[in-house]
Amino acid sequence: MADGRRLHDVTAKVRGPWLALGLLAVVLAGGTTGYVVIERWSAWDAFYMTVTTVSTVGYREVHPLSFAGQVFTTGLILAGVGTLFYNLTLLVTLIVEGGLPRHLQYRRYARMLDQLKNHFIVCGYGRIGSIVAREFQRQKVPFVVVDRDPGRYQQAIEDGVLAVDADATREDVLTRVGIHRARGLIAAVGTDAENVYTILSARVLRPDLFIIGRAESEEATRKVLRSGANRVISPYQIGGQQMAQTALRPAVVDFVALATSSENLELAMEQVLVAAHSGLAGKSIVDAGLRQRFGVVVVGIQRPDGKMEFNPAPSEVIQAGDKLVVLGRGDSLRQLESEAGKQ
């Protein structure tokens, strides 16, 4: 796995200085012990002599040396200078090659991944995945990108996206990016086969996870659905339908684009989940006073069984677990979400 190899290289570069420091400690301990044994000095005098010798400071000798002590000191100087040079070389290499900054960056990303919750996992940062990521960024939705292509991974990092250079079909990778805390997963990797494997892995780990898969053809759409996706998006089919609708009903397309655009601050379309003990549950649309209290228009109601009721009548009863598709101003929608989520 690419990110595993990268982490191994970075960790090896960071571990090197610890080895060098260990060698230096061995030289200091060996020098101190040698002077105590050969010259019968006190531990402090032996340690002081060792430090001044290894550091090549050049202070006078603590006590006159015997011939054996002179021979030992010569060896200590060679060992000490070599160890210090090794330490300096590794330190320069660590700074110049950026091993330490990359290690710190990896640690920071690891902490960010551990803190993610109620987020989306975007598998693939190609043409589709990058558009999804930009939209999530605009709407301030937490997400993480998984892509094993080094070029796309680097592009995601440059775009300010939290990304992992790994294979999204692997269960251990999905676990590392917090699939058990995730809100949903979007499979938009390079091929239909990879999308199918990614969805299968995700469904094994999280049977209840909301999964969206990309498919290139009708046959692939069926396979992606069978693999466990809740929704399947075919970019070519949607693009063709959008072009046809724009040609036939441009005003309708403009209105939908305006209502669903994250850049529009005046009008927005949103889905609002009605909690089990919300004050809205069990009331009709007119009794709940959604238009009067919140200034929103109920476009549709999706029932817990998935059935969608468009343009519901004012007498339609709102049930717990319903998803209200409403149109209104941003602040009004937030007020409604707060009321619908009250326990």
Instruction: Determine the pLDDT at residue 306.
Output: 83
Q: Which of 249, 335, 333, 326 is nearest to 285 (CA)?
A: 326
Instruction: Determine the pLDDT at residue 68.
Output: 86
Q: Residue 80 corresponds to which tokens in the numbers above?
A: 């000490």
4 confidence band (pLDDT: 50, 70, 90):
very low
92 and 183 inside one domain: no
Q: Are 189 and 216 in contact (CB under 8 A)?
A: no
Residues making up the chain, counted from first to last: 343
- The pairing of strands 268-273 and 297-302 is unpaired
Asked if residue 255 is part of any domain, the answer here is no
Over the stretch 144-153, which tens digit does the pLDDT of each residue have? 999 999 999 9
CA distances from 139 to 21, 60, 212, 264, 338 (A): 48, 70, 18, 11, 18
Instruction: Determine the pLDDT at residue 70.
Output: 83
Q: Which of 57-66, 138-147, 330-339 has the lowest mean pLDDT?
A: 57-66
Q: Among 48, 78, 101, identify where a domain stops.
A: 101
160 and 221 inside one domain: yes
The amino acid that residue 271 corresponds to is: Q
136 and 96 inside one domain: no
94 and 135 inside one domain: no
Q: Among 76, 101, 126, identify where a domain stops.
A: 101
What is the rounded CA–CA span in Å between residue 174 and residue 7? 17
What's the chain's average pLDDT? 83
123 and 218 inside one domain: yes
Asked if residue 81 is part of any domain, the answer here is yes
Say which residue the tokens 């929103």 belong to: 296
Highest mean pLDDT among 81-95, 188-202, 244-258, 262-276: 188-202
Is residue 265 over pLDDT 60? no
Instruction: Determine the pLDDT at residue 264.
Output: 55
Over the stretch 24-62, which tens digit does the pLDDT of each residue have? 788 888 888 988 888 888 888 888 888 888 777 766 777
Q: Are 188 and 143 in contact (CB under 8 A)?
A: no
What is the rounded CA–CA span in Å between residue 339 and residue 44? 74
What is the rounded CA–CA span in Å between residue 293 and residue 325? 16
Which domain does 203 fall in, by range?
A: 116-239
175 confidence band (pLDDT: 50, 70, 90):
very high
Share above pLDDT 70 across residues of the chain, in percent, rounded to a whole number: 86
193 and 138 inside one domain: yes
Q: Residue 234 corresponds to which tokens in the numbers above?
A: 């075919």
- Backbone φ, ψ for residue 227 (5° rounding): -75, -15
Read off the DSSP letter of residue 327. Answer: E
228 and 269 inside one domain: no
Say which residue the tokens 């950026």 belong to: 98
Q: Which of 129-138, 258-267, 330-339 has the lowest mean pLDDT?
A: 258-267
Over the stretch 288-309, which tens digit does the pLDDT of each residue have? 888 888 888 888 899 988 888 8
Q: Residue 173 corresponds to which tokens in the numbers above?
A: 């990778």
221 and 295 inside one domain: no
Q: Among 207, 239, 271, identify where a domain stops.
A: 239
Instruction: Determine the pLDDT at residue 207.
Output: 94
14 confidence band (pLDDT: 50, 70, 90):
very low
Q: What is the mean pLDDT of residues 182-206?
A: 93
Read off the DSSP letter of residue 178. Answer: T
Instruction: Determine the pLDDT at residue 104.
Output: 63
Is residue 261 over pLDDT 70? no
Is residue 171 over pLDDT 90? yes
Asked if residue 10 is part of any domain, the answer here is yes
157 and 271 inside one domain: no
Residue 225 is part of a domain; what is its CATH number? Answer: 3.40.50.720
- DSSP assignments along 253-318, one per residue: HHHHHHHH-TT-SS-EEEEEEPPTT-TTTT-BHHHHTIIIII--EEEEEE-TTS-EEES--TTPBP
CA 201 to chain centroid, in Å, comes to: 18
Over the stretch 273-283, which tens digit does the pLDDT of each residue have? 898 888 888 88
149 and 201 inside one domain: yes
Over the stretch 204-248, which tens digit does the pLDDT of each residue have? 999 999 999 999 888 888 899 999 999 998 888 888 888 898 888
How many domains is the chain partitioned into structurally?
A: 3
Q: Which of 119, 235, 122 is nearest to 187 (CA)?
A: 122
Instruction: Determine the pLDDT at residue 146.
Output: 94
Residue 64 is part of a domain; what is its CATH number? Answer: 1.10.287.70
234 and 121 inside one domain: yes
